[in-house]
Amino acid sequence: VQNGSGHFARTASVSERTRTMLPSPSLLATDWNEEWKSLQAARRPADDPRAWDQRAHHFKPRETHPYAASFLELAHIEPGERVLDMGCGAGSLAIPLALQGSSVLACDFSPAMLDVLERESCITEVADQIETKLLAWDDDWNTAGIADKSVDVAIASRSIATRDLKGALTKLDLAARRRCYITLVAGPSPHHDPVIMNAIGEPVVVSNDFAYAFAILLGMNRLPEITYIRSPRRDTFESIDEALEACSRMLDQPEKSTIARLQLYLENHLVPNPHAGEPGSKGKPQGGLMLDHIRTVTWAFISWNPVA
């Protein structure tokens, strides 16, 4: 290119122009798995399988709840496909998948949950299509018999509870031939009620767990896709004291004045529950009192094609 002085100025090459347009590399240069580990270290301890064992008998996996129906609708799993359901619980996904004709390897770290699943699979006459396995995220999956590319689809619905998120995603990726599907929370923790927290003047921590998985998958050279499942919840309790104890767990070292505000809020916003005794969203029978608002938890539904 000739400039005003009659000399020829150097023209930047296409690659140089492209470099100037690239965003800062800090996003992909960040070790998001280490960031995830730091986040987990600051949280309460991971769930103990014994806690789930105690709740297992309340679960009714034959009743397909709206969340499970939404997950299955988004996943588009075909009859005849082999599915790994990691963190299967009592079978809210495994049983409908088997009923549609899929073969399911259902894995969980809670023996009691697997017992419920096995019993329910017999009642629904799909026991021949569901294989159960006691397995945790941090176990050696190859030693446990889950070979690479041994299933068509790998799913983990609201069940990724591990300090090593990249390790968990890699295990799903290696196991699946066609597709992987997971859900992680988008927005505040499902253990928090933003309506209550805002009402008593406490901050709401937005963790957005799914963002860590998305960034890690990009670093693994996957192309994750995201949509969202909005899951309404109606929290119920047997008494104001039970509600106060449960809701206090949302607070980090609360002062007496904060507990007093929380108790006043509950006294004004707990109403009789017309569905007391019926199964609740967490498997436990509903209490006689319920909050006068519905809490909505948003889950990010992430899918990707695994490594060939």
Per-residue pLDDT of the chain (308 residues; tens, 9 = 90+): 444 444 444 444 434 444 444 555 677 788 999 999 998 888 766 666 666 545 645 565 555 588 999 999 999 999 999 999 999 998 999 999 999 999 999 999 999 999 999 999 999 999 999 999 999 999 999 999 999 999 999 999 999 989 999 999 999 999 999 999 999 999 998 889 999 999 999 998 888 999 999 999 999 999 999 999 999 988 899 999 999 999 999 998 889 999 999 999 999 999 999 989 887 766 678 899 999 999 999 999 999 999 98
With CA atoms as reference, report the closest residue to 128 among 99, 151, 150, 153: 99
Mean confidence (pLDDT) of the chain = 87
pLDDT of residue 308: 87
Per-residue model confidence (pLDDT) at position 3:
47
Q: What is the pLDDT of residue 61?
A: 55
Tokens in use for 293? 């608002």
Position 162 scores a pLDDT of 92
Q: How many helices (H) and strands (E) does the chain have?
A: 12, 10
Starting from the edge strand earliest in sequence, which strands make up the sheet with 103-108, in order? 130-134, 103-108, 82-86, 151-157, 176-186, 295-304, 225-233
Instruction: Please report the sign of the dihedral spanned by the C-alpha atoms of residue 69, residue 209, residue 223, residue 158.
Output: negative
What integer pLDDT is reported at residue 282 of this predicted model?
Answer: 61
Angle at 106 between CA 67 and CA 184, to 5 degrees: 40
pLDDT of res. 6:
47
**CA nearest to 302, candidates 240, 220, 236:** 220
DSSP state at residue 77? P
Look at residue 252 in the predicted model and tell me its pLDDT: 84
Is-contact 37 43, C-beta < 8 A?
no
Pairing assessment for the beta strands 103-108 and 236-237 based on DSSP bridges: unpaired
